[in-house]
Amino acid sequence: MPPRTAARIFTRGHIFWYRITGGFIGGRFGRIPMLLLTTTGRKSGRPWTTPLSYLRDGENMVVVASFGGSPTHPAWYLNLQAQPRASVQAGRRELDVDAETANPEERARLWPLVVAMYGGYEGYQKRTTREIPLVILRPA
């Protein structure tokens, strides 16, 4: 099975079990909390759901557009740039959010917290020439 096909199957399973159990299954990756982010496709106009790790920052949630250190941004990030209104499921809680890329001051404060949550982000940043965006999801 090609790796992309396997990744799609895994992601669909993750989303299915997360939704059906309210995050009991799939709501954590070890100690790291996970949410489901649903964006509007910038080309298709269709909803797209992606499981992502997140950091709580007061009432906001912060997600990392790392794409594993790829030289390109993930599709969900490009979707948010085109349409910043999205929805999130964090555990059983579902809410609409407005997404905004962290400004330099916010990023300077949040990046060490994100790396403390998952050290792999530091390696992803070293692997790419782009600055990995941090996205702040604010309740709408």
Q: Would you place residue 3 in the very low, low, confident or very high pLDDT band (cuts 50, 70, 90)? A: low
Task: State yes or no: pLDDT of 5 exceeds 80.
Answer: no
What ranges in 35-131 are assigned the alpha helix state H?
75-82, 104-117, 120-127
CATH superfamily of 3-139: Electron Transport, Fmn-binding Protein; Chain A (2.30.110.10)
Burial class (CB in 10 A: 0-12, 13-18, 19+), 132: buried
**The two three-digit tokens of residue 26, written as one number:** 């799939």
Task: State yes or no: pLDDT of 7 exceeds 80.
Answer: no
Domain extents for the chain? 3-139
Q: Would you place residue 1 in the very low, low, confident or very high pLDDT band (cuts 50, 70, 90)? A: low
Encode pLDDT of 69-102 as tens digits: 888 899 999 999 999 999 999 999 999 999 999 9
- Give the pLDDT of residue 9: 84
Q: What is the mean pLDDT of residues 10-22?
A: 90
